[in-house]
Amino acid sequence: MKVLKFWFILALASLFVMGCGKKSGLEGKVVDGRGQPLANVKVVASQLQPIQGYEQFEATTGSDGTFRFGKLFPTSEYALLPWSDAWANMQMMTVQYDPTNLRAQFDKGGWTTDRNMTVQSGSEGEALILPAPMMVKPAITTVEGKVVDDKGQPLVNLKIVAKQVQPMKGYEQFETTTGADGIFRFEKLFPASQYVLAAQTDDFFSEETTLQTSLEEQTVNLPSQWAVRFMFSKGELIVDFRTGLMWVPAPDRDITWDQANNFAKNLRAGGFSDWRLPSRQELGSLYNPSSNNKVHPSFHVKDKWVWTAELSGSSYAWTYCFTSSGIESPQMRSHYGDYKVLAVRFRK
């Protein structure tokens, strides 16, 4: 047994001695997404099955983007990880290596995807040259769009918020602002990912729209202008960009005309005190023949009569109903079944 142990130790020692001094070279090139060489990129080669003295090496690219390793262990698997201090403000980078059809992400801490850049060193004394460059580019994509009102006029100085549907650290949410032409631009969204966009101004927000980003360093132009008519607040106020009116949706109860009138006059929603009942024309401006409800659902008046400020004699007041064609009709002010109130004011 002692003899076997002796020979086993002797064999291990022989392998170690044989391994000492073995060297293999590796040469490659790092380029950007346009194929231009990247200088001063540190490339770390980490041995997948570590052998003492050969576990990790570093090399730096020159002005032509080329890096060289001269002391790798022969015919051994190494993972290559590039990094540059110039990428410090990027959440994530992508390596593309065509010979193995590789596309993988990494950050300063290492690879963030299961696949990574692995190569096999050459035989002893051989300097292996990678058959293609390592293409490195930011894991970002650009989205451009234009926000207009429903008349096609640009909406200026609107904050646009993009939220990632499946959040990824560093890419969860971005904000930008529309310019004088209503155009907005996001430059650091994550590639091939879904985002939900919403417009905001003060305490108001628009309905959301969803988009799919493209691959790295590509731009997605929204196919059509993003038309925004209504914006909403957490307090359920509604701003209508078409008419410049601000609305308070109907309370969840039926109401007589006198109750509706008092409700509007005493309302202090949004810190405003100039609320009133709407006219027939103002209610008619909400009518939308292409909508299933004929009015935006946030107003809560589907198939209901809505009181107006316009009286008809001493006992009647005009009402409006968002039916298939929109109906105006005078009703007794004392009626309350299926009658609703919407308060309105001019947005100044």
Instruction: Sort strands 230-233 and 219-221 into parallel, antiparallel or unpaired.
Output: unpaired
Identify which of 307, 330, 320 has the alpha carbon closest to the alpha carbon of residue 257. 307
> In the numeric block, which tokens belong to residue 121?
């060193």
* Same domain? 90 vs 166: no
Would you call 343 exposed, middle or buried from its count of C-beta atoms within 10 A (0-12, 13-18, 19+)?
buried
> Which parts of 33-176 fold into alpha helices (H)?
none
* Same domain? 114 vs 41: yes
Choosing from 123, 138, 153, the residue where a domain stops is 138
Residue 169, pLDDT score: 87
Q: Is 313 left (phi over 0), alpha (psi -120 to 50) or beta?
A: left
Q: Are 297 and 249 in contact (CB under 8 A)?
A: no
**Percentage above 70 pLDDT, the chain:** 94
Instruction: Assess if residue 14 is contained within a domain.
Output: no
Q: How far apart are CA 248 and CA 235, in angstroms?
A: 9
The pair phi, psi for residue 330, each rounded to 5°, is -75, 135
Global pTM value = 0.72
Q: Are 113 and 119 in contact (CB under 8 A)?
A: no
Number of folded domains in the chain? 3
* Same domain? 134 vs 183: no
Instruction: Assess if residue 338 is contained within a domain.
Output: yes
Residue 21, pLDDT score: 64
- Range(s) of the domain holding residue 118: 20-138
Region 197-225: mean pLDDT is: 87
Which range has the top average pLDDT, 38-52, 99-113, 295-309?
Answer: 38-52
Which residue bears the tokens 């949706």?
249
Choosing from 138, 163, 189, the residue where a domain stops is 138
Q: How far apart are CA 136 and CA 111, in angstroms?
A: 13
Residue 12, pLDDT score: 42
* Same domain? 252 vs 341: yes
Region 64-79: mean pLDDT is: 96
Residue 14, pLDDT score: 42
**Percentage above 90 pLDDT, the chain:** 72
Q: Are 295 and 288 in contact (CB under 8 A)?
A: yes
pLDDT tens digit sequence for 236-253: 899 998 899 999 999 989
Region of poorest pLDDT, from 28-32, 163-167, 300-304: 300-304
Region 149-174: mean pLDDT is: 92
**CATH code of 114's domain:** 2.60.40.10
Residue 234 binned pLDDT confidence (cut-offs 50, 70, 90): confident
* Same domain? 133 vs 145: no
The alpha carbon torsion through 271, 276, 280, 281 (nearest 10 deg) reads: -50
DSSP-assigned beta bridge partners for residue 206: 231
Residue 176, pLDDT score: 97
Identify which of 264, 253, 270 has the alpha carbon closest to the alpha carbon of residue 308. 264
Q: To the nearest whole number, what is the mean pLDDT of the chain?
A: 90
Instruction: Assess if residue 83 is contained within a domain.
Output: yes
**CATH code of 333's domain:** 3.10.100
